[in-house]
């Protein structure tokens, strides 16, 4: 697979909108970390081909360039930073200032984006010495409020499903789900569509539950089936099956013992 990647990148030279980006490519120094056949489940990531499109709409061109740029980023070197933290004290109160210096742009050079949103602008601190006295040029008092989590869109929900389970306490269960999350790359979108088909959620500016969806939530919110840890447990058990550490009949018996009481209780509530 990796042998094909440099060919795909060279083919992008015929794409006018990518000419500037390709000037930043370090030919002969590609990073092959994106190729790991052991981690491929249903299909590999989306790649361009050696055929360069010539008759796309504006939106289609934008999507194609996004895929091409991501390929260039993924095959480039890592971005290296020097992070400096200065602790300043005045009137017995400690203040902290952080500075970031980019030492090697790496993959971030393609878009010129050198910081994460939570880090703020990538600014360098001036040269400072321990014990040095600094003059205060001005003061400002800011009043801020924390914001509640934003509603999911389909894109952010897909990302959340991919990383679900990071807070699970059990190490084995957390490890089992961190590799795949909820669903697989090929099934997550279908899971969301099922929620639409059953009228559990609806599209507005963001995704919101319907009245029916809230009723189902109230029924199962305290049940094991609503806990991502259960998904992790199932995935862990499936992994044990693959490695022949478990017999299938033991696996089925465990599932029945867990599911049947829950199903009986459910039918008692709805009938």
User: Which of these three, 55, 74, 93, is where a domain ends?
Assistant: 74
- Decide if 146 is inside a domain: no
If one counts the domains in the chain, the total is 3
How would residue 151 be classed by pLDDT, with cut points 50, 70 and 90? very high
Is the domain of 50 the same as that of 85?
no
pTM: 0.52
Neighbours of 17 (CB within 10 A): 13
pLDDT in tens, 54-106: 888 989 999 999 999 998 888 888 888 888 888 988 888 898 888 888 888 88
Q: Are residues 116 and 160 in the same domain?
A: no
Please provide the size of the chain in residues: 271
Please indicate, yes or no, whether residues 117 and 17 belong to a single structural domain of this protein.
no
Residues 232 and 160 in one domain: yes
Give the pLDDT of residue 250.
78
pLDDT digits (tens, 9 = 90+) for 31-57: 777 666 555 555 567 888 888 888 889
Give the pair of three-digit tokens for residue 30: 């590609």
Residues 30, 57 within the same domain = yes
**Domain span including residue 32:** 2-74
Q: Is the dihedral of CA 71, 153, 195, 199 positive or negative?
A: negative
Q: Are 53 and 117 members of one domain?
A: no
Strand 93-104 relative to strand 80-90: parallel, antiparallel, unpaired? antiparallel
Weakest-pLDDT range from 99-113, 162-176, 179-193: 162-176
User: Using one digit for the tens of pLDDT, what is the confidence trace for 105-134?
Assistant: 888 888 776 665 445 556 788 888 888 888
Residues 165 and 202 placed together within one structural domain of the fold: yes
Q: Taken in order 193, 196, 201, 205, is the CA torsion positive or negative? A: positive
Is 227's pLDDT higher than 60? Answer: yes
| Claim to verify: residue 63 and residue 84 sit in the same structural domain | no
Q: State the CB neighbour count (10 A cutoff) for residue 114.
A: 17
């Amino acid at each position: 697979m990796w042998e094909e990647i440099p060919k795909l990148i060279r083919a992008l030279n015929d794409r006018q909108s990518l000419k500037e980006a390709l000037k930043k490519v370090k030919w002969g120094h590609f990073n092959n970390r994106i190729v790991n056949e052991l981690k491929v489940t249903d299909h590999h990531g989306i790649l361009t081909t050696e055929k360069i499109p010539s008759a796309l709409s504006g939106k289609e061109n934008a999507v194609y360039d996004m895929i091409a740029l991501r390929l260039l980023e993924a095959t480039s070197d890592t971005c290296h930073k020097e992070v400096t933290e200065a602790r300043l004290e005045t009137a017995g109160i400690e203040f902290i200032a952080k500075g970031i210096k980019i030492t090697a742009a790496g993959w971030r050079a393609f878009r010129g984006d050198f910081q994460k949103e939570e880090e703020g602008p990538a600014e360098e601190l001036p040269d400072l010495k321990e014990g040095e006295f600094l003059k205060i040029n001005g003061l400002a008092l800011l009043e801020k409020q924390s914001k509640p989590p934003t509603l999911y869109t389909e894109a952010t929900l897909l990302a959340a499903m991919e990383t679900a389970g990071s807070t699970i306490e059990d190490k084995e269960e957390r490890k089992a789900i961190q590799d795949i999350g909820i669903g697989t790359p090929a099934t997550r979108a279908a899971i969301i569509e099922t929620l639409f088909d059953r009228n559990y959620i609806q599209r507005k500016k963001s995704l919101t539950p319907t009245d029916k969806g809230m009723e189902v939530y109230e029924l199962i919110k305290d049940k094991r089936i609503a806990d991502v840890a259960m998904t992790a447990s199932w995935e862990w058990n499936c992994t044990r099956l693959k490695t022949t550490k478990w017999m299938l009949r033991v696996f089925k018996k465990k599932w029945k013992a867990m599911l049947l009481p829950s199903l009986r209780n459910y039918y008692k509530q709805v009938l």
